[in-house]
Structure 1
Amino acid sequence: MSLLCKATLAGACWLALAGAAAATQAGKPDAAAEEDPFLRLKNIPLYDDGAIGLSLGGQLRVRPEFSRHPVFGLASPDQNNGLLIRSFLSADLRLGPYLRGFVQFASGQAPIWAGTPPGTQLDRLDLQQGYGELTVPISAGSVMVRAGRQEMSFGASRLVSVRESPNIRRAFDGVRVAWIGSPDTRIDAFLVRPVLPRAGLFDDKSDPAQAFWGVYGTSAVPGIPALKGDLYYLGLNREKARFAQGTADEHRHTVGARLFGAAAGFDWNVEGAYQFGRFGSADIQAWMASATVGYSFAGMPFSPRLGLNADAISGDGNLRDGRLGTFNPLFPRLPYFSEANLVGPANLISIQPNLTLSLLPKVKLTLGWNPLWKEAKADAFYGPAITPVVRTAGGAGRYIGQQVSTALEWTATEHLTLGGTYVAYDPGERIRRAGGRSGSFAAGWATVTF
C-alpha cells in the first residue's frame, strides 16, 4: 500500500474514531445532531468542564475542467481537459479561553491533466496550515498572536487572497499579530514568506526568494453607518522578478485604501493603491483603481442585481526610461476576472457589466461581458501567473480582447454546493498578431464541506 493510501486510510479512521468519541461524550444525540451528523465533529469536549475542546473539519471537491486555447492560445498546452480532486482535513484544538492550535492537511490530485500538473494542482499530501495562536483580552478588545503556516485574505482579496479555484490554496509561513477592537474594527500586522506547493509528500516549503510584510486595518466609518473602510501598507522583496522591462530583484511598497458597504439596494466596493520602490536600478511608480458596484431589485422576480466591475491597473509606458510602471498585484485571488483565468491584473483596463439572478432561493445565475485593454501600449499583456506573455509588448493598439461568462451555482445544503461555468473569449488584433486565438473554458464542481 502506498504512503498516500495509508495516510488517506489513517485520516478516515481518525474521523470515524473522532465521531464515535463525540457521540460517547455527548451521550444521546440531540435533535440538531440527528438532523446534521457533522455537528458531532464540532466542539468535542476533551474534559468534563469543556475547557479543552476539539473541532474537526474537512472538504472534498471534484472539479472537471475543459480548456481550449487557454490565455488566447498563448499558453501551453494548447488544450487541456482535466479532472481535479481536492480534499482537506483539519483539527482545531482549543486549550482554554486563550490558546488554540490548528492543523490542516491538504491533498490535490490531478488524475487527468495534459502534461505535468503544476504544484497548485498536484500536491499529493502536505501541511496546508499548522499554527499556534494566543488571544489575550485587553481593555480595548483583544490581541491575537499567530505563528506558523497559515492562510491570509484581506479586504476584497485583490492583493492578498487564498487562491480558491486551484486544488491547493495559497498559504504563508510566518507570524501574524492582530488587535481586534470590535467585529468591525481590526488591525493586522504580519511578516511571512509564501509557501511553494510541490507535487510530493510533505515537501512544500517557504519561498526563500520572497519576503512579504505589512499592516492592514479595517473599521466602520464614524457617523456613516453604511460605510466601512480599509487602510493598508504592504511590502514585498522578490528575487529575479520578471516584467516586460526585464528581470531583476524587486523591492516594492504598496499603500492603499478601500471603501465598501451597502444601503437602499446599492452595494459598493471601491479601492485604490499606489506602489513605489526599486526594480534593479529602476524606480517603481505604479498604481491601481478598482470598483465593484451594483443595485439589487429585491421586489422583482428573481431578485436581479445589476453590477459593474471596473479596473484600471498601470503598465509600463516606456521599457527603457529607468522607471517601472507595471503594477504588481502581489498575491491576488485567482482567477481574477473569470474562472477561465485568462489574464492577470497587471497593465490592464477592464470593465465587466454583469447580471445576477436568484432563480431559486439557493440557485444563482451570473452573466457577464468583459472587454480588456492594455493600460500602456509599450508594456506586455500579463497572463494569470502575472508574467509577461511573449510577443505582446509594444504594438499600435491596446485592445486585448473580450470574454463572455456565465456561472450557475446551487447551494443544495449547508454542506453541499454544486456549480458550473462556461467562458468564451476572442482576442483583439494585437493579440492575434502574437498568435492568439479564440477559445473557451468550461468547468463544473461538486463540493462537500463539514
Structure 2
Amino acid sequence: MIRPIRARLSATAPLALMLATPALAQTAPSEAGQTRNPANPTVSSYPNAAAGDGATTNGFNLSRWAEDWRVMRDPAKRDDFIDRLKFLPIDDDGDVYLTLSGELRARVNLTTNPNLREAEAQRQDINRIFLGADLHVGPHLRFFGEVAHGGISGRNLGVPAATLRNDVVFQQYFAEASAEVGGIDVGARYGRQEFTDGPNLLVSQRDNNTIRYTLNGLRLWARGAKVRVDLFDLKPTQYGDLGTEDDVIDPARRFSGVTMGFVLPKTWFGKSSLYLDPFVWRRRNDVGAWGGRIGPAERFYAGARLWGDAGRFNIDWSVNHQWGTYIDQEIDAWHAFIAQTYRLGKGPTSPRIGVHFDYASGGGGYGDGKLRNAYAPFGNNIYYSYQLYLTPSNLIALAPNFTFSPVKKLRVTAEYQLAWRDNVRDAVYRANGQPFAGTQNVADAKIADVARLQAVWSITPRLSVTGRYEHLAAGPSLTKAGYASSDFLAGWVSFRF
C-alpha cells in the first residue's frame, strides 16, 4: 500500500506545492464565500445552506471550494469522464483526494450612451477562464487554488479595468484546517479567498466581473447545531492586468469583524426555515474618496440580516448602522434592504411576485457636516443597474418584480425600479463609488426609472445561457447635470465543471 501512495503523491506533488506554498506565504492582515461544508458532517452541524458560503445548487456553488463532491467516490454515481475529475484519489483509501473545477464563459455587452453621455455605443466581447484544484489531505486539512484569465475586446472600450482584462491571476489560494471539538465544528483558513458571509449588497465575490473580488488573510469559524460565529481579518487583492506578479495585497484597505448566525424555530409562521445573522465589522481605507477629497477613513458596521423561507414567502431583510471618521468628518449612515417574494403555486418553480425596498442614507459627501453617505464594502454591484450606474449610497429604491418559467429550465425575471436620492445636496453615485459629477448641484430627487429583464436557460447543471436587458430612463437628477438615458443588452454562455 505504501508504494502506490508514494507513486501517486509524486505525481501530484507539483500541484500540491503550487496550492500550498502561496497560501502560507501571505501576510496576515472581505464576497459572498463562507466556511465550507464540514469534511465529516454530524447531527450537530449548522445547516450548510446558511453557513456563510452561499447557495449550492445541483452540486455547484459560485465559490467552488464550498462544493462537496465525495459522492463521486462511487463509480456508480458518475455519468461521464468529467464526473471522474471531481474525485481523484491519491491514496488507496481515498482519504487523500483531489477535486478539479473550472469555468469557461463567453460574453457580449452592448451599451448605448456609455457613462450616460450621448456618444457612440460600446461593445465588450469578454471571455473568462477559471481552473481550480481542491486537495484534501484526510478529513481535517485541505489546500485550494484557482487560476483565472480574463480577456476583452470590442469597440469604445476606453481603459478596461483589471477585473475585465487580466492575462493570468492566482485568483484564490489558501490552506484550511478543520476539526470537531465537543460537538462544535471549528476551522481556520489562511490565504487568498472569496468572502460572502453577510448581506449580498454588502459583501459579494462580484461574479459579474470577469475576475472575482478576493481578499487575503485569516478566517476562523465555529459552528454548532443552532449557532455559529465567524471571525475574519482580511485585505483586498489589488489586481494588475498582466501576469501574477502585479496582483498584490492592497496595503491601504483592511476589512475585519465578526458575523454570527442563529437558526430560528421552524414553527414560526407555520413552517419556516429562517436565519438571523447579526454582524459587527470594521473597514479601514487610507485613501477614501468623497467629493474630490482623498484621506483616511475608518468605518464601523453594526447590523443584522433576517432571511429564509416562511411558507410561500422568501424574505431577505437587513439593516445596518455605520459610524466612524473620514478625514475630519464624523460618519453617521444607515442601510436598510427589504426584499421579499411570494410563490404563487406549490412547486419550487412556480411563478413569484416580489418587491424590494432599499434605503441608503446620503449627505456630507462634499464636506458639509457629518458624512451620512452609506457605503457597501464590496457588495453586489449590479443589483440596482446592470450597467453599474447605481449603488447603495444616497439612494432610495423601490422595485416590484415577477419571476416565472415559460418552459422547463428557463427562468425569466422582470423588474421595474424607481430610484431617488435621499439627499439632493449630494451626488448620484455609481457602483464603483464615484459620483456623477455635477449631480450634487441639482435640486431634484428623482434619479431614474430602470426597467430590467433577465432570462437564464439552465440547459444542464454545467451549461447555461443568460440574457439581460436594461433601459435606464434618466430622471432630472441626471438630465439636468447633462446625462442621458441608456440601454444595455448582454448575453453569455457559461460552462463549468
1:200 aligned to 2:242?
Answer: yes
Cα deviations across residues 180-221 of structure 1 (Å, max 9, x unaligned)? 224x64211111110012110102111111011010111212
1:61 aligned to 2:105?
Answer: yes
1:132 aligned to 2:170?
Answer: no
Cα deviations across residues 359-418 of structure 1 (Å, max 9, x unaligned)? 123111111101110111111110110122211113221111111011110110010011
Determine the C-alpha separation between the residues in 1 that align with 2:324 and 2:199. 24
Cα deviations across residues 8-61 of structure 1 (Å, max 9, x unaligned)? xxxxxx9xxxxxxxxxxxxx994543x232111012110101121111110011
Determine the C-alpha separation between the residues in 2 that align with 1:116 and 1:252. 30
Counterpart of 2:62 in structure 1 is: none
Determine the C-alpha separation between the residues in 1 that align with 2:410 and 2:202. 29
Contact 1:129 1:149 in 2 (8 A): yes
Q: 1:37 aligns with which of 71, 78, 81?
A: 81
Shift of residue 70, structure 1, vs aligned partner = 3.4
Sequence identity percentage: 30
Cα deviations across residues 99-145 of structure 1 (Å, max 9, x unaligned)? 10001001111132512211110011010000000002111321110
Letter in 1 for 2:369: G
Shift of residue 340, structure 1, vs aligned partner = 2.4
Contact 1:272 1:287 in 2 (8 A): yes
Counterpart of 1:47 in structure 2 is: 91
Letter in 1 for 2:397: S
Determine the C-alpha separation between the residues in 2 that align with 1:110 and 1:30. 40
1:189 aligned to 2:231?
Answer: yes
- Corresponding residue SS for 2:440: coil
1:284 aligned to 2:331?
Answer: yes
Q: Which runs of 5+ in 1 are unaligned?
A: 1-13, 15-27
Determine the C-alpha separation between the residues in 2 that align with 1:177 and 1:299. 39
Q: How does 1:323-402 map onto structure 2 within 5 Å?
A: 323-402=370-449
Does 35-44 or 286-295 show the bigger shift? 35-44
- Corresponding residue SS for 1:135: strand
Determine the C-alpha separation between the residues in 1 that align with 2:182 and 2:491. 49
- Corresponding residue SS for 1:158: coil
Shift of residue 301, structure 1, vs aligned partner = 12
Q: Which runs of 5+ in 2 are unaligned?
A: 1-14, 16-72
Counterpart of 1:239 in structure 2 is: 286
Contact 1:302 1:359 in 2 (8 A): no
Query: CA 1:318/1:109 → structure 2, altered by over 3 Å: closer, same or farther?
Result: closer
Contact 1:345 1:386 in 2 (8 A): no
Shift of residue 318, structure 1, vs aligned partner = 8.0
- TM-score computed with the length of structure 1 as normaliser: 0.89
Query: CA 1:374/1:180 → structure 2, altered by over 3 Å: closer, same or farther?
Result: same
Query: CA 1:318/1:327 → structure 2, altered by over 3 Å: closer, same or farther?
Result: closer
CA RMSD in angstroms comes to 2.1
Shift of residue 247, structure 1, vs aligned partner = 2.7
Does 50-59 or 258-267 show the bigger shift? 258-267
Query: CA 1:45/1:286 → structure 2, altered by over 3 Å: closer, same or farther?
Result: same
Shift of residue 342, structure 1, vs aligned partner = 2.1
Higher strand share: 1
Contact 2:254 2:283 in 1 (8 A): yes
Q: 1:261 aligns with which of 308, 331, 334?
A: 308
Q: How does 1:51-90 map onto structure 2 within 5 Å?
A: 51-73=95-117, 79-90=121-132
Shift of residue 97, structure 1, vs aligned partner = 1.1
1:156 aligned to 2:199?
Answer: yes
Determine the C-alpha separation between the residues in 2 that align with 1:144 and 1:38. 30
Determine the C-alpha separation between the residues in 1 that align with 2:178 and 2:365. 49
Counterpart of 1:413 in structure 2 is: 460
Determine the C-alpha separation between the residues in 2 that align with 1:216 and 1:164. 22
Does 297-306 or 167-176 show the bigger shift? 297-306
Letter in 1 for 2:213: R
Letter in 1 for 2:238: L
Contact 2:291 2:367 in 1 (8 A): no
Shift of residue 300, structure 1, vs aligned partner = 9.4
Does 298-307 or 194-203 show the bigger shift? 298-307
Q: 2:274 aligns with which of 220, 224, 227?
A: 227
Determine the C-alpha separation between the residues in 2 that align with 1:421 and 1:273. 30
- Corresponding residue SS for 1:360: coil
- Corresponding residue SS for 1:385: coil
Counterpart of 1:215 in structure 2 is: 258
Letter in 1 for 2:152: A
Contact 2:280 2:303 in 1 (8 A): yes
Determine the C-alpha separation between the residues in 2 that align with 1:302 and 1:88. 30
Contact 2:393 2:429 in 1 (8 A): yes
Contact 1:67 1:79 in 2 (8 A): yes
- TM-score computed with the length of structure 2 as normaliser: 0.81
Counterpart of 1:443 in structure 2 is: 490
Q: 1:168 aligns with which of 190, 211, 230?
A: 211
Shift of residue 261, structure 1, vs aligned partner = 2.0
Residue correspondences, number:
420
1:144 aligned to 2:210?
Answer: no
Q: 2:480 aligns with which of 429, 433, 442?
A: 433
Shift of residue 239, structure 1, vs aligned partner = 1.5
